[in-house]
Structure 1
């Protein structure tokens, strides 16, 4: 699956050791770019932590994700884990910033059939009604 959004913030780094070795975990919060944006917490593990730490708030990120749920004591917990990141629109933004924008000169012309404003208000037909 794929998700795209702007980086909102990076959570606290958690580190530990298990029987399989040392591990690192950090949450990356993004906001989707939709009519009704949603915030999604991506849980980054080990090598993905270093990648997530390179992102800055406001950057548009595209992530390939896997979604996994597990049960513990009768409650379900869901993780959204990224396994590949891409920074979106960086090249487009750089190109737009390097190319100056050119604007066409605007010309305004006077209307050909000019009726003086006083003609609209000087006619007196005997009543004060505008119609």
Structure 2
């Protein structure tokens, strides 16, 4: 699955437990009639993917939806969902790459050479 929007916030990388589990969060604001602020988690080595992105940038994030079941000390079962990112791409670079390049000014072109009367009818048939 993928989501697109503008980066609203990029959190710092946080480390948990003795195993060194790493997690970093980013908030994306979708660009639709009713914009949504979506929290996406990047974990372990994927945390570093956010280093080259900044707030306000238009991005596309490839995500997986994760669900967990947890039983609290009172025996009640609770369910939790998370959105986990595994790839992030800048959309601004893509849009620039698909644009038509500007036409150079007329002065940049050389004038065409004049044709001789003899050269205009040199077809072999």
TM-score by length of 1: 0.64
Q: For structure 1, which runs of at least 5 residues remain unmatched after alignment?
A: 101-131
Q: State TM-score, norm by structure 2.
A: 0.66
Which sections of structure 2, spanning at least 5 residues, go unmatched?
Answer: 104-125
State the number of aligned residues.
Answer: 97
Instruction: Describe the superposition over 1:6-45 as per-residue Cα deviations: whole angstroms up to 9, x where unpaired.
Output: 0001123211345xx4321011111011111000000110
Shift in alpha-carbon separation, 1:94–1:23, aligned structure 2, 3 A: same
Partner of 1:9: 9
SS at match of 1:90: helix
What RMSD over aligned residues (CA atoms) do the two structures have, in Å? 2.2
- Residues 23 and 29 of structure 1: CA distance in aligned 2, closer, same or farther (over 3 Å): same
**Contact (CA 8 Å) 1:10, 1:53: kept in 2 or not?**
no
Q: State the match for 1:25 in structure 2.
A: 23
Q: Deviation above 3 Å: which 4+ runs of structure 1?
A: 93-96
